[in-house]
């Protein structure tokens, strides 16, 4: 059961010079050159191959088949089992719902699996097609970690730009779109939740005693861990900035509500004398002044207008309006 399944995403060998040679479907995995078999464990044939191939142990089968979703780094001699996360760029899906990339890697074999496509895996494959990719499994592992970190960094930068736009909007006393700020805060929190353990995994990987990782590979892994730390710092700053923005939005809403309530109160105050006088003159009792005069109504309306104008001027002078 160590032949290449027919529904692989990528099946190839590394030529040691940054290029690759495709492995035909059904071919035996070669013993002389490191091979990369990349699978979608949702495909039935790939799932059967992962379940029965003698190349994998029970823990590796469980991880590669998607039965474990937590970030993981397991070292068994010179074999590494690793679960990493990448930004979800699939159309119609949310980027913060990060895609798990599951990796089983030895000095001469790479078996990886995922359920949804990742741009990072395509980045590595494209570099191999251009003969500018990894030369061996150690380089491949570093390149994958690097590609995942670059894509995550691009997404964090996009969130940073969105926050800047929202800040300019709020500073101009305008309200952001409904749910926009809440969506950004959710993305910041979820991305940080996944990137934080991933930084620890990459840093730990750089310090593990693995014979096929040389000093240059370890240095690059430490550099990737440092970049992840910087992205986490930016995420923390973004979370703090969106908290301030949320307070400002709440203040804008409170100001708008208070302003409307104040305007309604002023309008009620303007009509208060008129309401009093109309209520007084509306009683049906004898002796009301002007009851017999044909001009009394217009005199009364004029008096109401004069009183309203005087009250408006008084409110203006007291700066209540």
Q: How confident is the model at residue 257 (pLDDT cuts 50, 70, 90)?
A: confident
Single out the residue of 208, 200, 204, 206 nearest to residue 229, CA to CA.
200
CATH superfamily of 2-252: CorA soluble domain-like (3.30.460.20)
Q: What residues pair up with 84 in beta bridges, in sequence order? A: 101
**pLDDT over threshold 80, residue 191:** yes
CA 183, CA 169: separation in Å to the nearest integer?
16
Q: What are φ and ψ of residue 105, in 5° steps?
A: -140, 135
Q: Please write the tens of the pLDDT for every residue from 303-316.
A: 878 877 887 787 77
CA 263, CA 248: separation in Å to the nearest integer?
22
Across residues 238-261, what is the average pLDDT? 86
**pLDDT over threshold 50, residue 1:** no
Q: How confident is the model at residue 288 (pLDDT cuts 50, 70, 90)?
A: low
Q: End-to-end CA distance of the chain: give it in Å, rounded.
A: 85
Question: What is the total residue count of the chain?
Answer: 321
CA 282, CA 29: separation in Å to the nearest integer?
102
Q: Please state the pTM of the whole predicted model.
A: 0.79
Across residues 42-50, what is the average pLDDT? 91
- Within the chain, how many helices (H) and strands (E) appear? 7, 7
Domain residue extents for the chain: 2-252, 284-318
**pLDDT over threshold 70, residue 280:** no
Q: What are φ and ψ of residue 216, in 5° steps?
A: -65, -40
| Average pLDDT for the chain | 87
**pLDDT over threshold 60, residue 211:** yes
For residue 105, give every residue at least 6 positions away whose Cβ sits within 8 Å of its Cβ, in sequence order, or none: 79, 80, 82, 111, 137, 140, 141
Q: Please write the tens of the pLDDT for every residue from 126-159.
A: 999 999 999 999 999 999 999 999 999 999 999 9
Kindly report which listed range (31-45, 102-116, 165-179, 253-267) carries the lowest average pLDDT score. Answer: 253-267
In degrees, rounded to 5, the angle at the alpha carbon of residue 169 between the alpha carbons of residues 154 and 188 is: 35
């Amino acid at each position: 059961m160590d032949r290449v399944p027919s529904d692989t995403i990528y099946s190839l060998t590394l030529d040691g010079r940054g290029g690759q040679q495709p492995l035909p479907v059904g071919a035996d995995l070669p013993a002389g050159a490191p091979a990369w078999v990349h699978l979608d464990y949702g495909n039935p044939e790939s799932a059967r191959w992962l379940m029965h191939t003698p190349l994998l142990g029970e823990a590796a089968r469980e991880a590669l088949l998607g039965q474990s979703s937590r970030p993981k780094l397991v070292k068994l001699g010179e074999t590494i089992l690793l679960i990493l996360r990448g930004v979800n760029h699939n159309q119609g899906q949310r980027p913060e719902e990060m895609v798990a990339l599951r990796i089983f890697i030895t000095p001469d074999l790479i078996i990886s699996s995922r359920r949804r496509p990742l741009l990072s895996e395509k980045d590595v494959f494209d570099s191999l097609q251009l003969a500018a990719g990894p030369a061996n499994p150690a380089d491949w592992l570093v390149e994958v970690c690097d590609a995942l970190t670059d894509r995550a960094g691009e997404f964090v930068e996009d969130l940073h730009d969105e926050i800047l736009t929202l800040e300019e909007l709020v500073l101009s006393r305008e309200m952001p779109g409904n749910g926009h700020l809440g969506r950004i805060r959710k993305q910041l929190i979820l991305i940080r939740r996944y990137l934080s353990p991933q930084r620890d995994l990459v840093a730990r990987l750089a310090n593990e005693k693995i014979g096929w990782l040389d000093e240059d590979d370890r240095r690059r892994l430490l550099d990737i861990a440092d970049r992840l730390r910087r992205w986490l710092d930016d995420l923390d700053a973004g979370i703090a900035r969106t908290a301030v923005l949320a307070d400002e939005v709440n203040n804008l809403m409170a100001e708008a509500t208070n302003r409307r309530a104040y305007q309604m109160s002023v309008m009620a105050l303007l009509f208060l004398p008129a309401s009093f006088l109309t209520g007084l003159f509306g009683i049906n009792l004898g002796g009301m002044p002007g009851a017999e005069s044909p001009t009394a109504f217009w005199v009364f309306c004029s008096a109401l207008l004069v009183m309203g104008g005087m009250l408006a001027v008084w409110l203006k002078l007291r700066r209540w309006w």
